[in-house]
Structure 1
Amino acid sequence: MTNVPVSGNDLNSMQPKPLTAPGPAPVSGGVLSRMPVGRKIMLGSLLMGSMYLAVVGGVGYLVNANLQTLNQNIQGQRMLLPSSTLMQNTQLLRLSSVNLLSGKADARDANTQQRQALGAALADLKKRAEAASQPQLVKEIQAIQTALQNFNRQVDAGAYTAVQAQARATAILNDQVIPLFGSIAQYTKLRYINPSAGGASDTSHLMEIISTMPRNMPEAGSIVSQSVRLSNAVGAKGKPIPASLQTEARLRYEASNAALQRMLSTVDASTENSAALSAQLKPTLQELKSSSTALFGEVKRGLVDSKTLNTDAATIMAALPAYNKAVFATLDNSIKALGTVLEKDKQTSQNQLIAAIVFPLLVLLLTTLLLRTIIRGITSPLRRLTEASVAMERGEVGHTLPVTTQDEIGTLTHAFNSASSQLKLNADRSAQELAESQRLQANIGEFLDVTMDIAEGDLTKKGKVTEDVLGNVVDSINLMTEELGGTLKTVQSASLSMTDGSRQMLATTEAIQGGASMTAAEASRVAQQVQQITDQVRRMAQDAQASAETARQALLASEQGQEAVTNTLEGMHNIRREVQGIAKRIKNLGDRSLEIQEIVDTISQIARQTNLLALNASIEAAGAGEAGGRFSIVADEVRKLADVSSQATGRIAGLIKNVQAEIQDVIASVEDGTREVEQGYRVAGSAGERLREIGTLTQQTAQYAEGIAASTQNQVQGIEQVDSAVQQIASIAQESRQSVEQGREAAERLEKLSEQLNTSLARFRLPA
């Protein structure tokens, strides 16, 4: 043991040093980690507010888009009323033009008024289409203007007959005026859902009426022109109606009545599903029903259901004005009701847009004020905590902060106050401990002198026991020194005894080492023999496994062959069924050929009778002289035709007999094929049975081979376990030999250590 001198500086270094607060830890992270808490809260609030504004903006966009669509709808509705006027005046123009070309004196003034009304309606329509920025509608309106102008010029020039003028005006009405309603609905987005679907709105019902009525009004109104034409063809009242005219009248009536019923059912369905529409459309609907009943009832009673004509053109025409007025009043009221509904929807959308802008702004303002209050409530206590923490870092302990909240910040403030009080107590306690440490330092100096003597080997020295903490330590060291002296005496005696024992152990380990070497050699030889046996059994196991795999392949091949035979049986069964069906159809074909033969015989008889009849007609014509000359020519032609028919039937009869003979041959061939298919089916069935037996035997063989392979594999595993055990024995023997050698080396080291221990113990002064 070396002596370690202790200086006064070393004593000072052992004094407790005052604790210093560590500097601020480096902050890791990006800009967000260096940002104040208030700004972080404000940033999060701005992100949430941005998301809120984005959602509100999306809602406002949708509401505004709906409002824009409603504005387009309203523009389309405002174009529908002039379109109704255009349609009505086009029909009136057709009637007045026909009357004008027919020579009626009062038709000129009516025709002029209708032309003016059409011009005003088209101008209004064009103006509205241009204001709505709908160039396609403008083109269609200009096309209608051009068509009507050309029509009027042809009427004024007398280039049309009354029938041609009616046809041309009807074409303009059907091809250009009526499709204008659909174009307006398309270009102004006046779309509608199926009114029969659940949740259909008033707009949907009204658009169904506006779409249905223009399409069916010409068909329903044609009852007048067709009935007038047919009544004029019959003549005066009381005359019988020819069957052909009555049939035509019935067909015309049914087509017009079907168009009328489509219009009435559409309006009825709309009024039944909406109380508001019922109040607006019921009056004109009742007028339409009563006027159509009068008009259609007159046609039905006087022309369709009567054998004699019980009406006339004047009576039918008298019912037309009331019907036309009711039809167009219903259409116009539907268009006006659509405008009311659209204006109401527009007002609702405007209110929604205002609510979508104002309400979110109010919510955002209130949220901002509340957030500002919350941020102040968080940042003010945090700022006070931060200032007090910085002062504590400078060593100014004892600060306390007022606890103004009961949340996490209040808990943190309370914890800070407790920590500050505890730090103040610790500082006072440190001052007391400093005085005690100075007294302790003096006692330690005295005790160090004693310990220096003890360190030099004098175990008879003892330290002074004081009343402080060091007294217990000195007392313990004194006791330890006494016990150490006694222990060293005992160790000295044991060291002498250990030297003798280590020599004896060294001789014993040499004998054990020789036996362990022999054991390890024998274990290695046995391990080699077991390894050879293991290799042989493993090769047997591989051969058994290959045999089992071959058996499984044979089983798989037999199963595939059995499946192929099964498929062959199914295919032959299908062939047998198809051949039987072909035989049945060919037999039916033979029966049909017999029926054809009967028809040919009938035709042949008709030809013979026709020939005889033509001969009799020729005789009668010859007896009639010159008056029967032309009839004689016809009779000759009929007789020639009968001869040709007779010759053709003869050829057909010959062909049918050939076909029947060939059909009989085919039937015989099909029956032979059916028998051969039956024979093949039985042979294939027998082959399938044999393959199933082979598959059963192969499966048993595969099972036996797999059992042998499994048993051989178990033997391999057992021998491998024996091999592993022998290897372990050899390893253990080798380890035992190594352990004996290590023990011998340890005995030698122990002998040297005991000698060194005796040498070291000789320097100590031990108590008597």
Structure 2
Amino acid sequence: MTQVPLTNNDLSLPATGNVAAQNNTQVGFLGRMSISQKLMLSSLLFGIPLIAVGGMLSNNYLQSAQLARQQALYTAPYQNLEPLQLALRTMRGYKANEVPKDALATALKQSDELLASVQKTGSKDAVGLAQQIQADTKSLVGKIGSNSVSADDILKLTGDILYTKMQPLFGSLADKGQLAATPSAQGRQLAQVSSDTLPTLLPKIGGAFGGLIVTFDDISSKQKGVITPVQKAQIEDQLNRANELISQVDAQTQKLFATDDNLKANLQPLYKTALDDTLKAFAVAKEGSLGSGKVTVSTNKLIEVSDKYLASQYKAFGATVDKLNATFAAQEQQANQRFYTLLAILAGLTILLLLLLRGIIASITRPLKFLTQASQALSTGNFNIKVPVTTQDELGQLSSSFNNAAAQLRANAERNEQESIESKRLQNNIGEFLDVTMDIAEGDLTKRGKVTEDVLGNVVDSINLMTEELAHTLKSVQHASASVTDGSKAMLGTTQQIQEGATMTAAEAQRVTAQMAQITEQIRLMSENAQASADTARRALLASQQGQEAVTGTLEGMQNIRREVQGVAKRIKNLGDRSLEIQEIVDTISQIARQTNLLALNASIEAAGAGEAGGRFSIVADEVRKLADTSSQATGRIAGLIKNVQAEIQDVIISVEDGTREVEQGYRVAGSAGERLREIGALTQQSAELAENIASSTQHQVDGIEEVGGTVQQIASIAQRSQDSVEQGRDAAERLEKLAQDLNASLSRFRLPA
């Protein structure tokens, strides 16, 4: 395909004033964004609802996991409450000197561990109850150790701890830990049984049996085993009350078993064993008292069956607490799994959307890239281009229109090139014809002009015919001077034909002149448009350079932000290290307080054993123990505050690290934008230089066409003068008759054909 210059008829361009107005229009925010950025912004707007829904679901799952952790934290003291309750119930029915030593040691150990476990929850009410339980337990152990309490007193003191202090602690932990808020029916029922049913009913059952032991021992020692009617009524009342409590426990546990078959399979055998052992214990008490009206069962036997049913009861109680903790752990794990699964789904959807968006952007930017490259090639004068049409959307239609426009420009270029060739050929023919006419003017009538197919062909043919006739006439005049009159008439006819040919020559020359003027005007407009394109390219180059400077400034600012954020992260981490050191110091103080408390307790026990001599030392030991308790409480609060500070510091570190990563990502994106701006600047520079070259070449063509127009104008002037000369020749022919003699002398200089 031949490349030709682009004319104003081939492509409509806006007027110069409109171009200036467009260049002065301010570009909005969206106008400064690329197509890829606009598509990304649209995808982000459409993705906000998805992100919001994912955030809400993630928050729900995190809250569920947090609730499960909180519930597990508040049920942890149950691991100490259950053996402590068992130890206290084991003491009931015994005299002070007969209470098992392992029960006393278990009570002290579990009361200390209970307080430490409750302090981890941070609940002030629960901590207060745990401290009171610890103090009462130690006081009870001290009194039992000093043998200063009776079996009745032990029954009352343990009952006070079990009902007044321990039972509210179960309820406080259940309320503060929101155990009833667990989503599963199994978890709610387990929480009900572990925090209310068993802690409330089991001590009451034990209290009834402990009362029977005390009553039987009193009857055996004071009444020789004979039961009075009042005592019989009391025993029957205690037995009935115990049966009612056992039925309540059985009803509540049956509700628990109904929630889950697996739970039923694991716990029901334990509860059945505990129920059977309890019923057997009360059956032994009933048969040993009401059967004969006398106490026929020994206290040791009652204590033996009591220990058996207590062990089975608290084995079932402990298994229930374990199931409750396992339920909370499973709920936390399930919530975490759902959270991570949701994160994986959201990540997968995000990746899928990004891939889809990437494909959409590629389907839009690829045709635009082809169009841009083709436009740049077209601006350089390369009309042999064709944009591949790969879609049927607006871009495909635009590509088809561009191909049609390029084809039209190519056809116009070929047509203009053909006209240029014909113009040059006409100019060459005119030059050759002028040489021939000069020879003819010098008298060589043997010369003939070359007859061509263009507009000059008729003129040349006429001149050739005129020359031929003139030569023939002159030859005839030479050979027949006698027939001058006839020759002059023939010459007049020939002159008429020459006049008509000259007229036609002048008309054709004028038409050619008009066409050359039109071509010159079109090329001049094309030159002006090329110059305007060069100006636009220079302005685009300036804008790209300014954008590159702005991006460079942005990169420097982001680099400073990155350094500052890294410094803040380092300082916050140092602060977290210092808080860990403080935590170690607080732990050391807490251990010292516990040791001091234990020493004070031992001192109180020793002072109590020393009698009056150790009374004042006991007062000092109590003050030391109170001071140790206060120190332990203060260190507990300090430890809680430090943990909160550490958690907040860890959150700040994570946020700072996220911010650092965001700054790094922004820095890389800004750097990539700067590279793209530099590439655009280089391409714009090349475009401006090419537009300048087009404008210069077009101006040279205008100058050449104007020279051709001047030449054609000269041809028209020559034709007009030829017409005047022919008219003068006609006048001369009329006078030829008179000048025949002179003509023969003049014709002697002409060279005539043979």
Quickly name the TM-score band, shorter chain normalised: 0.3 to 0.5
TM-score by length of 2: 0.47
TM-score by length of 1: 0.46
Higher relative contact order (CA 8 A, sep 6+): 2
